[in-house]
Amino acid sequence: MFDDFATFDLTVTGDDETVGIHGVRGGDGPPVLLLHGYPQTHALWHRIGPELARTHTVVCPDLRGYGGSGRPAEREDHAGYSFRAMAADQVAVMGELGFDEFAVIGHDRGARVTHRMALDHPSVVTRAGVLDIMPTEYVYSHVDRRLATAYYHWFFYLQPAPVPENLIAGDPIGYLHTLLGGWGGAGLDIHPEEARKDYERAFADPDVRHAMLEDYRAAVSVDLGLDAESARAGERVSCPLLVLWGGAGVVGGGEDDPLDVWRTYAADLGLVRGRALDGAGHFLVDERPDETLEEIRRFLDAHPLSDS
């Protein structure tokens, strides 16, 4: 995977602590940061990243706690795994690599990091893409039977440690496979074997699994608090925003159109564009890599950034 990309392991100080971030970098041109989600690693981008690298500098890291990146000690308030902390990590990584401003595209948890990054670092994020999510605050304030059934893990994972950790430990790889094959997807086989093995290596580590669960615990506590603070302060996404979701998945299955929802979180309605990928589930980067790549390219081309 990632032929002609260079591997990096950087120690950065993001929000308020130092953490090691593992990832790969390739290509030349305007910088683009690609962020994976749960339960994956940067390997998610192994098909799209090299294609984008034909015209861009592409950076694909593991989020803190995930894959080969560091796992800071947990805190009582879970703030060490907040989206703010994760966003600050990646801004610091891009700074270390020489980029003071850049585009960022995230899927799943990486998309939530992208949203927080756009709010916390508006002078750095030139354009943002969120793949297959609704805003965190919106999700928790619109829970119904449909959503609770599909997103059961959101409520399972926030239970106090080590209850979820111990239950998952009974068959971690089997459980991982149910996740990768779910949420409206076409089954486990949509994930190429080499990438799937990378996910399995990470998920087999109980420390990685615990860190992933800390991410979810942070979301329902510190992250919701930060979202409320941003709302009171009138903070909105001020850069162009791409919204993509799987047409057969959970995100577009409710009463509200994802584009309409995201426009309420943007500084201007005209900043938001996107669509559903018909027939795709949650893991649209794996299930529809060519279509996803085309949409990302079109978005970046419409809002070009010169090399920095």
26 lies in some domain: yes
* Domain-located, residue 293: yes
> Residue 84 maps to which CATH number?
3.40.50.1820
Q: According to the model, what pLDDT value does residue 305 have?
A: 60
Give the structural domain span for 119.
6-302
Question: Which residues of the chain have a pLDDT value below 50?
Answer: 308
Of 36, 46, 115, 282, catalytic: 282
Pick the catalytic residue: 62, 89, 108, 198? 108
Q: What is the pLDDT of residues 177-230, one digit of tens each?
A: 999 998 767 789 999 999 999 999 999 999 999 999 999 999 999 999 999 999
* Residue 208 covered by a domain: yes
In a domain, 1, yes or no: no
Alpha-carbon gap, residue 141 to 74, rounded angstroms: 26
In degrees, rounded to 5, the angle at the alpha carbon of residue 144 between the alpha carbons of residues 142 and 146 is 120
Query: Would you call 142 a catalytic residue per the annotation?
Result: no
Asked if residue 307 is part of any domain, the answer here is no
- What is the domain count for the chain? 1
Predicted local distance difference test score (pLDDT) of residue 15:
75
Q: Does 139 map to a domain?
A: yes
| Residue 308 domain-assigned (yes or no) | no
* pLDDT tens for each residue of 68-88: 999 998 888 999 999 999 999
Share the mean pLDDT of the chain. 95
Q: Is 210 a catalytic residue?
A: no
Enumerate the β-bridge partners of residue 26: 58
What local confidence, expressed as pLDDT, does residue 308 receive? Answer: 46
Residue 49 inside a domain? The answer is yes
